[in-house]
């Protein structure tokens, strides 16, 4: 298979492990819920041709625009939808794309989004405080930073960024308003925490927290995982790649719960929950990139892959 190469590209993370985990076979029907720049999608497409089908979803209209050019020769095989994966069930119904053989989530922010200053995801380049996956949605990082209360800011930074200095950071953000750019916000956080002996930039956790809040990432993930089960056929595979502990915790707990025959509270003598398992764990051990992959693609270093199989 050959796709257009004059468009932006990126290195997909754990691509071999994801394709093998999905058990991609010729003629299969697969959903890439975070199609991005199409790295995983291209690897899946290679294996499902000529009779298979691929549904690619992304909240970012720019990613969909690029993928429509990249996969233009495969329009009969590849369906691309600009929407949030929280609507997975509705999308599959609308496009008559169910039941499916496998569903992939590659969570977090893409390289293209990080490297585009105007998107406001990173403090490596100065840009507006945006951070929206979908530029059409209302709430921006600027709204959060400049209008939310100090208490709510502290909660977001602590809960989503796992930042232990959240109260001090929130207090300084409020006293520094208005904050209009990514570099200005990074400097505000740095004034609180300093940079001495820091392994990562002191604003990293705050930026991650704001991005998660702006895009409702954790809530959307929890909902989408539940909907994924409903569109998977028995024996179909669910594969999720996450990049930080909050996402991974949700995925791990979801798969563990759905693979359990009892979800009663600990210490319950007689099971009364009536829960029936819907998933089978393929590997209880999380899959991580090899040292060779991390060396060639440093952004993969925090990736964790988990997979499960739909029961009948």
User: Do 304 and 287 touch, CB atoms closer than 8 A?
Assistant: yes
Q: In the predicted model, what is the mean pLDDT of the chain? A: 94
| Alpha helices in the chain, H assignment, sequence order | 15-22, 39-48, 61-70, 88-94, 111-115, 141-147, 150-161, 166-176, 182-193, 204-215, 217-231, 245-258, 291-296
The mean pLDDT value for 272-297 works out to: 92
- The structure tokens 């590209």 sit at 9
Q: How far apart are CA 207 and CA 119, in angstroms?
A: 13
The mean pLDDT value for 188-192 works out to: 96
CATH 1.10.150.170 domain extents, the chain: 115-215
Tell me which residue of 79, 78, 84, 40 sits closest to 58, measured CA to CA.
84
Q: What band does 273 get if pLDDT is binned at 50, 70 and 90?
A: confident
Q: What band does 195 get if pLDDT is binned at 50, 70 and 90?
A: confident
Predicted TM-score (pTM) of the model is 0.93
What does the block give as tokens for 19? 């394709």
- How far is residue 122 from each of residues 59, 130, 152, 198, 272, measured CA to CA in Å? 18, 10, 22, 18, 48
CATH 3.40.50.150 domain extents, the chain: 15-106+217-310
* Domain covering 115-215 in this structure, CATH number: 1.10.150.170
Q: What band does 7 get if pLDDT is binned at 50, 70 and 90?
A: low
The mean pLDDT value for 67-83 works out to: 96
Q: How far apart are CA 4 and CA 95, in angstroms?
A: 25
pLDDT, residue 110, reads 85
- The structure tokens 């992939």 sit at 104
Chain center to CA of 128: 22
CA atoms within 13 A on the CB side of 69: 13
The mean pLDDT value for 49-76 works out to: 96
Q: What band does 4 get if pLDDT is binned at 50, 70 and 90?
A: very low
| Alpha helices in 203-309, H assignment, sequence order | 204-215, 217-231, 245-258, 291-296
pLDDT, residue 5, reads 46
pLDDT, residue 303, reads 97
CATH architecture of 15-106+217-310: 3-Layer(aba) Sandwich (3.40)
Q: Which residues of 205-244 are buried (b: 16+ CB within 10 A; e: fewer)?
A: bbbbbbbbbbbebbebbebbbebbbebbeeebbbbbbbbb
Tell me which residue of 256, 260, 261, 262 sits closest to 307, measured CA to CA.
256
Q: How far apart are CA 122 and CA 186, in angstroms?
A: 9
Among 181-190, 191-200, 275-284, whose mean pLDDT is lowest?
191-200
Q: What band does 197 get if pLDDT is binned at 50, 70 and 90?
A: low
């Amino acid at each position: 298979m050959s796709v257009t190469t004059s468009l932006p590209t990126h290195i997909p993370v754990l691509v071999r492990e994801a394709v093998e985990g999905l058990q991609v076979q010729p003629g299969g029907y697969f959903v890439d819920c975070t199609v991005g720049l199409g790295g995983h999608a291209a690897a899946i497409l290679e294996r499902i041709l000529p009779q298979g089908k691929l549904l690619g979803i992304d909240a970012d209209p720019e990613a969909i625009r690029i993928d429509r050019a990249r996969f233009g020769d495969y329009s009969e095989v590849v369906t691309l939808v600009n929407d949030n994966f929280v609507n997975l069930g509705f999308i599959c119904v609308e496009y008559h794309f169910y039941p499916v053989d496998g569903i992939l989530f590659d969570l977090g922010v893409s390289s293209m989004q990080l490297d585009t200053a105007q998107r406001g995801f990173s403090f490596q380049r100065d840009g507006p405080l945006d951070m929206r996956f979908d530029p059409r949605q209302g709430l921006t990082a600027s709204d959060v930073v400049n209008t939310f209360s100090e208490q709510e800011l502290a909660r977001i930074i602590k809960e989503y960024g796992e930042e232990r200095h959240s109260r001090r950071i929130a207090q300084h953000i409020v006293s520094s308003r208005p904050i209009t750019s990514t570099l200005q916000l990074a400097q505000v956080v740095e004034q609180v925490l300093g940079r001495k002996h820091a392994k990562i930039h002191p604003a990293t956790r705050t930026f991650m927290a704001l991005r998660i809040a702006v895009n409702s990432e954790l809530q959307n993930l929890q909902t989408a995982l539940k909907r994924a089960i409903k569109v998977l056929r028995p024996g179909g595979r669910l594969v999720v790649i996450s990049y930080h502990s909050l996402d991974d915790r949700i995925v791990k707990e979801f798969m563990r719960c759905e693979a359990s025959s009892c979800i009663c509270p600990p210490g319950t003598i007689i099971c009364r929950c009536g829960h029936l398992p819907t998933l089978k764990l393929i590997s209880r051990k999380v899959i991580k990139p090899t040292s060779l992959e991390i060396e060639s693609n440093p952004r993969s270093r925090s990736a964790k892959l988990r997979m499960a199989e739909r029961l009948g």
